[in-house]
A and B are shown apart, each in its own frame.
Chain A
Amino acid sequence: MAIPDDPIIRIRHVNKWYGQFHVLKDINLTVGRGERVVICGPSGSGKSTLIRCVNRLETHQKGTISVDGIELTDDLKRIDRVRREVGMLFQNFNLFPHLTVMENCILAPVWVRRMPLLEARELAMQYLTRVRIPDQADKYPGQLSGGQQQRVAIARCLCMSPKIMLFDEPTSALDPEMIKEVLDVMVDLAGSGMTMVCVTHEMGFAREVADRVIFMDGGEILEENTPEAFFSAPQSERARLFLGQILSHAQMGARTNPD
């Protein structure tokens, strides 16, 4: 695979162990500015761990990771600078339950970016409108559905105007009818030129928006290809097996829901 011309994330020879367990084995990955990358693979393959290393929620033990020219080390200043530019979406949304939707959105702009409160509110309202829930601004997360919560989480990230968004299985904890509303917002985001790295099992999403699909298994990157090439002709046996399982599951879903 060619190296993108304008790389924003560079991961070089990264290794990580949990005790004896080797989670990431010599990972090399470069993501270009504005590129949309989907990482898939069976559970336990290390894909979540990999993207959590990009904003240092996990530390890697060997190799280098640099984000927008800043190399991630133990230096707290650097970690702060990277985290300010990288938004992350979690499987369980992780909205702050004691704050309203609006307060969730303005917390970081006000405390991290030192933005005036009124300006932060305006910005938050703009993004809440973009994710199509401006009318829920004064509710608490506990009063919203899962899909709405994940959309608030997207708005909360966008309020920090990140250069990169990381998605850690953003639709895995959602009911089927809510997956679409979140995916629609993500597709919309992809259209705006955001750099996105998504760990997801939503193959439809990968086909529609991804520039590249990365297949991981056992802590290694096994395949890296365009979505068309990956889905039509997977190179490795394990990728074929994985796709077979995922697609047969999707077909079973299609058979029980004819429309």
Chain B
Amino acid sequence: MTDPARARLPQRSLLTDPVVRAVIIQIAVFALVAGVLAFAAVNTAENLKRAGIASGFGFFNQVAGFDVSQSLVEYSRASTYGRVFLVGLLNTLLVSSVSIVVATVLGFAVGLLRLSGNWLVSRMAAVYVEILRNVPLLLQILFWYIAILNPLPGPRQAMSLFDTIFLCNRGLIIPWPVFLPGSWLVLVAFLLALAGGAGLVLWARRRQRLTGKRFPAYVSSLGLIILLPLVALAAAGFPIRWDLPELSGFNFAGGLTLQPEFTALVLALSLYTAAFIAENVRAGIEAVDKGQIEAAHSLGLRPAPTMRLVVVPQALRVIIPPLTSQHLTLVKNSSLAVVIGYPDLVSVFAGTTLNQTGQAVEIIAITMLVYLTISLAISLFMNWYNARVAILER
């Protein structure tokens, strides 16, 4: 079918046709990018050949020959570079996940305190936020490591809390449980208590639905979860003991030692990120319309349930996207570990391993891929959570 109106239009030049233009521009951009990438690849390959470096991933099976100060899995200098990669990755994940939890909890607390009606409390929270978020993170890591943890006295003069927790220049030494045979009874008791607690909560909910009567289910199941394992512990003759740190010679034996590098990094990362999270939380709560609080109050809800049932659920949808971004930043910032020698992925893999093997392209590519994967995983999880708390609109 010919459209008479269109037929009368003057013949258009191909160059001014928006569709043709768009296609031409896309082809040109694609060719440019592909060309640059190809040039880089060829150039790198030639340089590597000239320097006599074999590319490939064979180095993963070679013996590393260096020590790592902290490892979650078995590691010795006879381990392979593959093992080094695993150690570094686990250390990165450890420091990131501990810091994310601490930063989020602390950030929510500080954010809420900043909204407190108490002048002193809200001012203190504000001072915390303004100082912590306005000093470079690198300086803060160095501050905790060099200025606070390093000058601590040696193990013999360690500061102690009730002679069970020690702080000295070897790090923070805390008691750690040891599981002797017979511990299974306590574990079973613990699992039973968990199941019982869940049952109690379900029963209380059902009773509330039917009769309106309330039962402090959470408090009582918490009591159950604490008491039952204690009873089992006594019945089994205390098979779980605390391994208490004790000074022997020039160092502590027993307990768990949190190295100063780890402690400094967790402190710096979580305190710094908590300041940003606190601002996100404050903004999120302030973004909830005042009318919502008035409506809840006018229905007879008290301030605490108003916060929990009305304000926080609405604030979360504002808080979560920037919170995700803070978590991602924290994981990436954990690579600053390298300045105080904490053996994270960048330090032992993209640092020492790269220096010893010279496999720069492979190692940097793998390291980038690891951070990308961690970040995308966090994003995916947070997006799923955000969709769950999102508000349904028309």
Which residues of A come within 8 Å of B, CB atoms? 55, 57, 76, 80, 83-84, 86-88, 90, 92, 94-98, 107-108, 110-112, 114-119, 140, 142-143, 156-157, 160
Chain B residues with CB under 8 Å of A156's CB are 299
Contact A111 B309 (CB under 8 A): yes
Least CB distance from B342 to A in Å reads 42
B314: contacting residue among A97, A110, A116, CB under 8 A: A97
Which 4 pairs show the lowest CB-CB distances between chains A and B?
A94-B295, A116-B212, A108-B299, A142-B393
Contact A90 B291 (CB under 8 A): yes
Chain B residues with CB under 8 Å of A112's CB are 299-301
A83: contacting residue among B212, B297, B313, B391, CB under 8 A: B297
In the complex, what distance in Å separates the CA atom of A86 from the CA atom of B310? 20
Contact B209 A116 (CB under 8 A): yes
B394 at the interface (CB under 8 A from A): yes
- How many pairs, one residue from A and one from B, have CB atoms within 8 Å of each other in the complex? 84
In the complex, what distance in Å separates the CA atom of A11 from the CA atom of B123? 39
Quick one: given A116-B211, A143-B392, are A94 and B301 in contact (CB under 8 Å)? no
In the complex, what distance in Å separates the CA atom of A197 from the CA atom of B125? 43
Chain A residues with CB under 8 Å of B289's CB are 94
Least CB distance from B317 to A in Å reads 8
Residue-by-residue, is B187-207 near A (CB-CB < 8 Å gives 1, otherwise 0)? 000000000000000000000
Least CB distance from B47 to A in Å reads 58
B391: contacting residue among A57, A80, A87, A140, CB under 8 A: A140
In the complex, what distance in Å separates the CA atom of A140 from the CA atom of B390? 12
Contact B298 A83 (CB under 8 A): yes
In the complex, what distance in Å separates the CA atom of A95 from the CA atom of B295? 8
Least CB distance from A107 to B in Å reads 6
Chain A residues with CB under 8 Å of B305's CB are 111
In the complex, what distance in Å separates the CA atom of A110 from the CA atom of B103? 35
Least CB distance from A67 to B in Å reads 13
In the complex, what distance in Å separates the CA atom of A17 from the CA atom of B372? 58
B292: contacting residue among A76, A96, A111, A157, CB under 8 A: A96
B294 at the interface (CB under 8 A from A): yes
Chain A residues with CB under 8 Å of B317's CB are 98
Contact B291 A83 (CB under 8 A): no
**Can you give 21 contacting A-B residue pairs, CB < 8 Å?**
A80-B302, A83-B299, A86-B298, A90-B291, A92-B291, A94-B292, A96-B310, A97-B391, A107-B299, A110-B212, A112-B299, A116-B209, A117-B208, A118-B209, A119-B212, A140-B392, A143-B393, A156-B299, A157-B299, A160-B299, A160-B300
B36 at the interface (CB under 8 A from A): no
Chain A residues with CB under 8 Å of B298's CB are 55, 57, 83, 86-88
B210 at the interface (CB under 8 A from A): yes
How extensive is the interface on chain B, given as a class?
20 to 34
Contact A108 B301 (CB under 8 A): yes
Closest to A139 in B: B392
Closest to A107 in B: B309
Apart from A110-B212, A112-B299, what 15 extra A-B contacts exist at CB < 8 Å? A57-B297, A80-B300, A84-B300, A86-B298, A88-B295, A95-B295, A96-B292, A98-B317, A108-B301, A114-B213, A116-B211, A118-B209, A142-B391, A142-B392, A156-B299
Chain A residues with CB under 8 Å of B49's CB are none
Least CB distance from A143 to B in Å reads 5
In the complex, what distance in Å separates the CA atom of A95 from the CA atom of B291? 9
B295: contacting residue among A90, A114, A116, CB under 8 A: A90
Chain B residues with CB under 8 Å of A160's CB are 299-300
Chain A residues with CB under 8 Å of B213's CB are 114
In the complex, what distance in Å separates the CA atom of A99 from the CA atom of B299? 15
In the complex, what distance in Å separates the CA atom of A70 from the CA atom of B295? 21
Closest to A79 in B: B297
In the complex, what distance in Å separates the CA atom of A119 from the CA atom of B213? 12
Chain B residues 193 to 239 lying within 8 A of chain A, measured CB to CB, are 208-214
In the complex, what distance in Å separates the CA atom of A142 from the CA atom of B211? 32
In the complex, what distance in Å separates the CA atom of A178 from the CA atom of B310? 27
Contact B212 A98 (CB under 8 A): no
Chain B residues with CB under 8 Å of A143's CB are 392-394
Chain B residues 269 to 328 lying within 8 A of chain A, measured CB to CB, are 289, 291-292, 294-302, 305, 309-310, 313-314, 317
In the complex, what distance in Å separates the CA atom of A112 from the CA atom of B214? 12
Least CB distance from B267 to A in Å reads 36
Residue-by-residue, is B127-143 near A (CB-CB < 8 Å gives 1, otherwise 0)? 00000000000000000
Least CB distance from B279 to A in Å reads 23
Contact A94 B294 (CB under 8 A): yes
Chain B residues with CB under 8 Å of A87's CB are 298-299
In the complex, what distance in Å separates the CA atom of A88 from the CA atom of B302? 16
Least CB distance from A231 to B in Å reads 31
Least CB distance from B148 to A in Å reads 43
In the complex, what distance in Å separates the CA atom of A94 from the CA atom of B296? 9
Residue-by-residue, is B362-394 near A (CB-CB < 8 Å gives 1, otherwise 0)? 000000000000000000000000000101111
